């Protein structure tokens, strides 16, 4: 009899996972801007996936788990892409994936929200917070925001590249995530 009581309890715990919706990668973007010699350089990650739960009527119940293929980095030149994949930067051979897992979402009012969670890049995990907006676009909920991070906190740009006079420490990660509405 005890086993029968555990099954409904397990289903209740799994319910939020069952409602998670895969993001629409074709309508989503993960871009970043850094400064090299004080000149903005923009790049992106072309391959990423994840599951997101976000009901705009109850955003506090939302969750996100997003994985990024670090080898899919795109920068203005092929030389820069090759360098970014090396051990001093993303070390894609050893760390092929970066990941964000949310721990909470707060409604800040006025159409603004804030997500907190853990960002893992190159074997280092840090707590992060990002403000974002969310809106309905037809059958999709579109989430957009900016997450400022310290590249050096994640050991991105080691050795000679740790000099912030050449490449600034702060990187702005701009995200646009599209998920089926009501998920």
Q: Tell me: the pLDDT tens digits for 7-30? A: 333 333 333 333 577 999 999 999
CA–CA dist 41, 56 (Å, integer): 34
Cα separation, 179 vs 143, in Å, equals 8
* Domain ranges within the chain, ordered by starting residue: 21-180
CA distances from 5 to 11, 12, 17, 22, 45 (A): 11, 12, 20, 31, 45
Mean of the pLDDT values across residues 76-84? Answer: 97
Mean pLDDT rounded to a whole number for the chain: 89
pLDDT band at 182 (very low <50, low <70, confident <90, very high): low
Residue 6 has pLDDT above 60, yes or no: no
Determine the pLDDT at residue 19. 54
Q: Is the pLDDT score of 72 beyond 80? A: yes
79 phi/psi in degrees, rounded to 5: -65, -45
The Cα–Cα gap between 70 and 98 comes to 6
Is residue 95 within 8 A of residue 69, CB to CB? The reply is no
Name 112's Cβ contacts closer than 8 Å, sequence gap at least 6.
Answer: 131, 132, 133
- pLDDT > 70 fraction of the chain, expressed in percent and rounded: 89
Tens digit of each residue's pLDDT (9 = 90 or more) over 94-135: 999 999 999 999 999 888 999 999 999 999 999 999 999 999
Q: Given strand 63-69, what is the order of strands in its sheet?
A: 21-22, 48-53, 63-69, 97-109, 112-121, 124-137, 140-150, 170-180, 29-36, 39-45, 73-74
> Who's near 77: CB < 8 A, 6+ residues apart?
none
Contact 140, 119 (CB under 8 A): no
- The CATH class given to the 21-180 domain equals mainly beta
pLDDT above 60: residue 151: yes
Q: How confident is the model at residue 155 (pLDDT cuts 50, 70, 90)?
A: very high
């Amino acid at each position: 009899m005890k086993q029968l009581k555990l099954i409904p309890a397990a289903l209740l715990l799994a319910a939020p996972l069952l409602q998670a919706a895969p993001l629409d990668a074709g309508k989503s973007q993960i871009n970043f801007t850094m400064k090299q010699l004080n000149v903005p350089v923009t790049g992106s990650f072309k391959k990423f996936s994840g599951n997101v739960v976000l009901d705009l009527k109850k955003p506090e119940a939302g969750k996100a788990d997003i994985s990024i293929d670090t080898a899919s980095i795109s920068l203005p030149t092929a030389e820069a892409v090759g360098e970014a994949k090396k051990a001093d930067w993303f070390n894609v051979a050893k760390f092929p994936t970066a990941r964000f897992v949310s721990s909470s979402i707060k409604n800040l009012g006025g159409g603004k929200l804030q997500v907190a969670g853990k960002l893992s890049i190159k074997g280092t995990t840090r707590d992060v917070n990002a403000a974002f907006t969310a809106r309905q676009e037809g059958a999709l909920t579109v989430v957009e925001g900016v997450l400022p991070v310290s590249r050096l906190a994640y050991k991105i740009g080691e050795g000679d590249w740790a000099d912030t006079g050449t490449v600034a420490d702060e990187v702005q990660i701009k995200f646009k995530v599209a998920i089926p509405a009501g998920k």
